[in-house]
Structure 1
Amino acid sequence: MKNVLCFGDSNTYGTPPMSGPGDERRFDAKTRWPGVMRKILGHSWHVVEEGLPGRTTIRDDLIEGTFKNGRRYLAACLESHRPLDVIVLGLGTNDLKARFGAPPEDVAAGIDILASIIRATPNLGAPPAKLLIVGPPPIRLVGFLGAMFAGGVEKSMALSPLYEAVARKHGADFLDAGKLVAVSPVDGIHYDEQAHRILGEATAARVQEMAGEKTISV
């Protein structure tokens, strides 16, 4: 059985568009994109969902908790789930929060650091896992999250080519989610059910290609 790890934030976790503070709903396993991918890949694949709302690439969040820093957990996560065949890395949206003041180049630098950790982590004697870096779609400043992400729209629109350059540096594949889906007009950050389906189908196809498998149409 092949193993694919999905390491991401609330959009990997399956947070629906939020109506306000305290909205802690989660799409069910069949609806969120890793679950869509699981169904397409079939029983020969084990899909590990490691999505955490608020997770950043490498930044400590002094408001929501330093455990939101993806760098702090990634190495342990990789070792606990190895051997891995494919790793899907989808982070960066939370780095756009106004409190971090990070330019897009620094957000991409965080992805670069995480990719380096992935490349440096032994894979339990198996060949190195293939890496798919997913660039997040541009955000919108709407709803109650708008103030939290003030100044982030322009930064989010600059991420795709920077992420693609990081992917080339590490010999990884790149998927531009912004060419496939858009964030919800409700909160400007999260995906609706249709976006999860589209992203799950696209990610499954790419994972199959990376693994040398025939792509299964849906």
Structure 2
Amino acid sequence: MKTILAYGDSLTYGANPTPNGPRHAYEDRWPTVLEQGLGGQARVIAEGLGGRTTASDDWYTNADRNGARILPTLLETHSPLDLVIIMLGTNDLKPAICGLSLEASYGMRRLVQIIRGHYAGKNETAPQIILVAPPLICDSPNADMMGHFGGIEHALNQSGQFAEHYANRAREWNTGFFDAATVAVADPQDGVHLDAANTRAIGEGLVPVVKQALGW
């Protein structure tokens, strides 16, 4: 059986777009849906943390949100791995953290380097990697959420560039690529998070991409 690490933020965690709403049910989270779609041939380990960035610090939070710093620990914890799926970058768009989708793509590049370097150091075969461009931020009356992302104009502009930049990094580093915006849209309740149906859609959309990456 293959082992897959799903590395992400609140969209992987299953955060609810309703303010203070409950976490999506286990069966509605995209890593669960992906595992089911693979028909028992792989287990998918969900590592989603709200607020996680690709490679930047967020000093406002009470947990380490820097995805580059915690990744080696998770690789060591869950090894051996056959595939790592990375869907990060939305939190990088906050001006207080990073602000640009291009810089987020460089953070994704750093994560690829960390994965390959980690396994080279162990003299083991590195897992396959799929970079996932997150769903687009959408307009929302939630002023606090939109403010986190520098206002709706900035948020829409930068999230709209995810796919282009991430596809470029995937080509440069010979990884898989998937644009989650082709199957999922954010809920206007907060403009960032997904309802249960759109969360499930990411897992469903990834099934053929994962099968290709694993040579099935």
What secondary structure sits across from 1:122 in the alignment? helix
Among 48, 71, 90, the alignment partner of 1:51 is 48
Say if 1:46 and 1:131 are closer, same or farther in 2 by CA, change over 3 A.
Answer: same
Q: Is the 8 A contact 1:140 1:146 kept in 2?
A: no
Say if 1:117 and 1:184 are closer, same or farther in 2 by CA, change over 3 A.
Answer: same
Residue 216 (structure 1) aligns with? none
> What's the offset of the Cα at 1:82?
0.9
The whole-number CA distance in structure 2 between the counterparts of 1:28 and 1:172 is: 30
Among 27, 31, 36, the alignment partner of 2:33 is 36
1:163 aligned to 2:160?
Answer: no
Higher alpha-carbon deviation: 102-111 or 186-195: 102-111
Matching residue's letter, 1:9: D
> What's the offset of the Cα at 1:212?
1.7
Among 125, 133, 137, the alignment partner of 1:127 is 125
Say if 1:66 and 1:102 are closer, same or farther in 2 by CA, change over 3 A.
Answer: farther
Q: CA RMSD in A?
A: 1.6
Residue 78 (structure 1) aligns with? 75
Among 54, 64, 67, the alignment partner of 2:64 is 67
Q: Is the 8 A contact 1:98 1:152 kept in 2?
A: no
The whole-number CA distance in structure 2 between the counterparts of 1:55 and 1:24 is: 19
The whole-number CA distance in structure 2 between the counterparts of 1:108 and 1:212 is: 26
The gaps in structure 2 that reach 5 residues or longer are none
1:183 aligned to 2:186?
Answer: yes
The whole-number CA distance in structure 2 between the counterparts of 1:191 and 1:201 is: 15
Among 159, 174, 179, the alignment partner of 2:177 is 174
The whole-number CA distance in structure 1 between the counterparts of 2:61 and 2:18 is: 17
Q: Is the 8 A contact 1:34 1:200 kept in 2?
A: yes
Q: Is the 8 A contact 1:184 1:191 kept in 2?
A: yes
> What's the offset of the Cα at 1:88?
0.3
The correspondence of residues 7-22 of structure 1 with structure 2, limited to 5 A, is 7-19=7-19
Higher alpha-carbon deviation: 126-135 or 7-16: 126-135
Residue 147 (structure 1) aligns with? 147
Q: How many residue pairs end up in the alignment?
A: 210
What secondary structure sits across from 2:192 in the alignment? coil
Say if 1:73 and 1:24 are closer, same or farther in 2 by CA, change over 3 A.
Answer: farther
The whole-number CA distance in structure 2 between the counterparts of 1:78 and 1:101 is: 25
Q: Is the 8 A contact 1:86 1:131 kept in 2?
A: yes
The gaps in structure 1 that reach 5 residues or longer are 214-218
Q: Is the 8 A contact 2:89 2:101 kept in 1?
A: no
> What's the offset of the Cα at 1:32?
0.7
